[in-house]
């Protein structure tokens, strides 16, 4: 007999008591830095195709907003306002990258509207910390130089850095396409120390989706990195992993990312 399944081959199996049906969810997707709400367009389309309601609110200083003089509380407040004004309840609030910090603060503002928090290669800051402090010293200096060289307190990622660190799995033209669409990131919120005492009292269930080829944060370091360094701050959380770098797979593998977000968000 010679039934060797190929590596990584999917195994189509029935499972008791019945194959899973899709549980319709309400997603609120929060993008990160060097991105705008269109970051989620393809993933949102896939989630809607599955039957979910999906919102990806833009927040100040991003998308069409020319104001770069924003504070972190303006960002989380705007997401919370969106949730309230749209009457959203029982939501899966998911953040990518810097969006994790906005998820943390938004959760403090509208805790009774949350079903679950999902972090996708996203910051989970400790109380009193800023996002910038999660970078190793050399990266911190690099970002500070970029910040200092801007005329409006923003940070723009040079293409060679973006291409190898943020879009390592993209083709050159995919990386260029993505990079051409990003705006300089307002720096202030990245350097704000956040009071997260309330966040760490929330009992909202939490999930962490870890894309394993993301090298924006150092891997395998006790004091740095998405997972397990920051994910472990969540206490009990549901872990999922997937291939993927920091930026590319929402564009190239939206059906896959959508499915993992569903697995992260369902009951």
Give the residues lining the site for its own copies (CB under 8 A): 1-13, 15-23, 49-51, 160-161, 163-165, 168-169, 171-174, 177, 205, 207, 212-213, 215, 218-222, 225, 227-229, 232, 236-241, 243, 245, 251-256, 259, 263, 266-267
Phi then psi for residue 241, to 5 deg, are -125, 155
CB of 122 to its own copies, least distance (A): 17
- Which DSSP category does 166 fall into? I
Instruction: Kindly state the smallest distance separating residue 167's Cβ from its own copies, in Å.
Output: 9
Min CB(229)–its own copies separation in Å = 8
List, in order, residues 6 or more apart from 127 with CB less than 8 Å away.
194, 195, 196, 197, 199, 200
CB of 235 to its own copies, least distance (A): 8
Q: Please say which residue, 3 or 112, places its beta carbon nearer to its own copies.
A: 3
Question: Of the two residues 17 and 66, which places its CB atom closer to its own copies in the complex?
Answer: 17
CB closer to its own copies out of 162 and 199? 162
In this structure, what are the phi and psi dihedrals at residue 25, rounded to the nearest 5 degrees? -120, 165
Residue 49 contacts residue 254 (beta carbons within 8 Å): no
- The nearest distance, CB 37 to its own copies, in angstroms, is 17
DSSP 8-state assignment for residue 221: B
In terms of CB distance, is 62 or 206 closer to its own copies? 206
- Provide the terminal-to-terminal Cα distance of the chain, rounded to the nearest Å: 41
CB within 8 A of 235, min separation 6: which ones?
206
Q: How far is the CB of 250 from its own copies (least distance, A)?
A: 11
Contact at 8 Å (CB) between 43 and 257?
yes
CB 89 within 8 A of CB 62: no
Task: Identify which of residues 111 and 136 has a Cβ nearer to its own copies in the complex.
Answer: 136
CB nearer to its own copies: pick between 60 and 225: 225
């Amino acid at each position: 007999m010679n039934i060797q399944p190929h590596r990584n081959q999917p195994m189509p199996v029935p499972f008791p008591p019945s194959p899973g049906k899709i549980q319709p969810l309400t997603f609120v997707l929060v993008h990160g830095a060097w991105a705008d709400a269109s970051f989620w367009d393809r993933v949102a389309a896939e989630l809607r195709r599955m039957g979910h309601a999906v919102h990806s609110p833009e927040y100040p200083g991003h998308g069409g907003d020319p104001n770069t003089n924003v504070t972190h509380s303006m960002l989380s407040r705007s997401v919370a306002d969106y949730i309230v004004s749209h009457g959203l309840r029982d939501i899966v609030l998911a953040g990518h990258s810097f969006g994790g910090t906005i998820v943390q603060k938004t959760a403090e503002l509208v805790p009774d509207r949350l079903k679950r928090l999902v972090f996708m290669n996203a910051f989970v800051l400790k109380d009193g910390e800023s996002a910038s402090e999660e970078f190793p010293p050399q990266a911190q200096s690099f970002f500070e130089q970029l910040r200092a060289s801007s005329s409006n307190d923003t940070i723009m990622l040079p293409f060679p850095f973006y291409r190898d660190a943020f879009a390592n799995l993209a083709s050159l033209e995919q990386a260029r396409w993505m990079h051409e669409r990003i705006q300089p990131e307002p720096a202030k919120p990245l350097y704000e120390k956040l009071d997260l005492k309330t966040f760490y009292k929330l009992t909202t269930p939490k999930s962490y989706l870890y894309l394993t080829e993301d090298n924006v944060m150092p891997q395998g370091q006790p004091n740095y990195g998405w997972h397990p360094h920051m994910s472990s701050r969540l206490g009990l959380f549901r872990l999922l992993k997937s291939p993927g770098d920091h930026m590319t797979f929402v564009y190239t593998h939206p059906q896959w990312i959508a499915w993992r977000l569903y697995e992260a968000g369902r009951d």
